[in-house]
Structure 1
Amino acid sequence: MEIPILICAGQPLMRSGLSSALVAEPDIRVVGETADGSTASALARELNPAVVVADFELADMTGIDLVRELLRPSREAPRTLLMAPAEGDAVLESILAGATGIVTRNTLVEDFPQAIRAMATGHSFLSPDIAALLLGWVRDKQPALFPALGLNLLTFREREILALLANGMSNAEISKRLCIVQSTVKFHISQLLRKLGLRDRLQAAVFAHQNGVT
């Protein structure tokens, strides 16, 4: 069974490269190509592709705008494979907009058939570099996104030191209060900063007050 796809990319070279690679696949059929999102939206209604392969930057809108347009209520939407920049914010926005597949512009054209086949059978697809980027972005941002998760990463001693730090105590004062040497205090502070994705004591103090650790 053939998988009909529509290609939407602003650069002619990108469109032709993708088309040439995909027409060689016996189970994939390129039903249309265009440079702009408006035409892609119209062609999607007319040609009913299973998957739309779209670049992030189009002639008249962004790839995210196209995803939203294709998902408008009252229409049967094709699944969208979006070529997004290697930036965490862009990837997350693409997912929230409704993209069901995301690759980067550096993804080899030989890897697109695998993504298209997965999406045509109802699966989502993230290229390995996008998956790694997204995991790193969530890990770096998690204190702001999921404060409770960040706190759960801390040991009892680290939470204890975070609370004392938030109350303005110096390393020497914390050392005296907990009966541990200052080098151990410094080690625990560096560990809790790393786990919470924070830069310094000030950020840690603010985080502690915002999340009730005092």
Structure 2
Amino acid sequence: MILDAQPDIEVVAEAVDGARAVDAVRLHAPDVALLDVRMPVMDGIEACRAITAADGGCRAVMLTTFDSDEYVYEALHAGASGFLLKDVRRDDLVHAVRVVARGDALLAPSVARRLIEEYTSRGVRRADGGRLEVLTARERETLLLLGRGLSNAEIAAELVVSEHTVKTHVGNVLAKLGLRDRIQAVICAYETGLIAAGDPPREGGGAARYRSLRRSARRPA
């Protein structure tokens, strides 16, 4: 009801379990799937993995009452572009869908903290830091700030450049490292040791940034 009430969002299908959600995505080809972590038949993590592995380009936002490290870590590595708790405000939910539909990704600040704690407490294996050698010095700075949760506008202010320049740097970082979106960039920043596990993310004014709109409904003429 919240999403369908928005003039720029069309809810094309609903499903009562994860398996039917995967089938609905194949049938309707939406831009975004909003998935509950706990669903019968197939849980949201498996549904997310199946949806993001397909060629349709649908992006997944996970919605749950649970913000445990396990769910966050598994959802992100299953390909989720966002992770929201069910106590999220309706405006933030709508904003998240719009953000993810545009191709961006979003993590609520509390979820970002959980992700960092995952690396700290469990000693998650770090990838070879040499992976970042393909980046220029400015691109490494951009990845560092992405990992700390800064928006493009905040990165632009930090680096004293235009937002257009930041978008170029972000695009180069994603392309060179083979990353899908900003969330994968955050994970990469920690896995490669660019950011220390104890370095907290910046918490902005919004709870998250996500999106889930149909491309056909929002593509400019």
TM-score (norm. length: structure 2) = 0.53
The structure whose RCO (Cα within 8 Å, separation 6+) is larger is: 2
CA–CA distance in 2 between the matches of 1:61 and 1:45?
A: 16
Q: Partner of 2:81 in structure 1?
A: 100
Does 2:60 correspond to 1:80? yes
- Seen in structure 2, the aligned counterparts of structure 1 residues 196 and 116 have a Cα distance that, compared at 3 Å, is closer
Does 2:11 correspond to 1:33? no
Structure 1 residue aligned with 2:38, among 48, 57, 60? 57
Q: Partner of 1:21 in structure 2?
A: 2
Larger strand percent: 1
Runs (4+) of structure 1 exceeding 4 A deviation are none
Does 2:137 correspond to 1:137? no
Quote the offset at 1:138 in angstroms. 2.4
Q: Partner of 1:44 in structure 2?
A: 25
- Seen in structure 2, the aligned counterparts of structure 1 residues 48 and 141 have a Cα distance that, compared at 3 Å, is same
Q: Could you give the per-residue CA deviations for residues 9-62 of structure 1, whole angstroms, max 9, x where no partner exists?
A: xxxxxxxxxxx2112222111111111122111211121111000100112111
TM-score (norm. length: structure 1) = 0.54
Q: Partner of 2:90 in structure 1?
A: 109
Q: Which runs of 5+ in 2 are unaligned?
A: 130-195, 199-221
- Contact 2:81/2:105 (<8 A) preserved: yes
CA–CA distance in 1 between the matches of 2:75 and 2:9?
A: 24
**What's the secondary structure of 2:6's corresponding residue?**
coil
- Seen in structure 2, the aligned counterparts of structure 1 residues 133 and 39 have a Cα distance that, compared at 3 Å, is same
Larger helix percent: 1
Quote the offset at 1:137 in angstroms. 2.7
Quote the offset at 1:77 in angstroms. 3.4
Quote the offset at 1:67 in angstroms. 0.9
Residue identity in the other structure for 2:56: E
Q: Percent identity?
A: 28
Structure 1 residue aligned with 2:103, among 116, 122, 126? 122
Residue identity in the other structure for 1:83: L
- Seen in structure 2, the aligned counterparts of structure 1 residues 76 and 141 have a Cα distance that, compared at 3 Å, is same
Q: Partner of 1:10 in structure 2?
A: none
Quote the offset at 1:132 in angstroms. 2.1
Q: Which has the larger radius of gyration?
A: 1
Residue identity in the other structure for 1:38: A
- Contact 2:52/2:59 (<8 A) preserved: no
Quote the offset at 1:196 in angstroms. 10
**What's the secondary structure of 2:23's corresponding residue?**
helix
Residue identity in the other structure for 2:73: L
Q: Which runs of 5+ in 1 are unaligned?
A: 1-19, 150-194, 198-214
CA–CA distance in 2 between the matches of 1:140 and 1:120?
A: 33
Q: Could you give the per-residue CA deviations for residues 79-124 of structure 1, whole angstroms, max 9, x where no partner exists?
A: 0001142111211111111111111222233311111111111111
CA–CA distance in 1 between the matches of 2:197 and 2:98?
A: 39
- Seen in structure 2, the aligned counterparts of structure 1 residues 99 and 141 have a Cα distance that, compared at 3 Å, is same
Quote the offset at 1:70 in angstroms. 1.1
**What's the secondary structure of 1:31's corresponding residue?**
coil
CA–CA distance in 1 between the matches of 2:44 and 2:67?
A: 14
Q: Alpha carbon RMSD of aligned pairs, Å?
A: 2.7
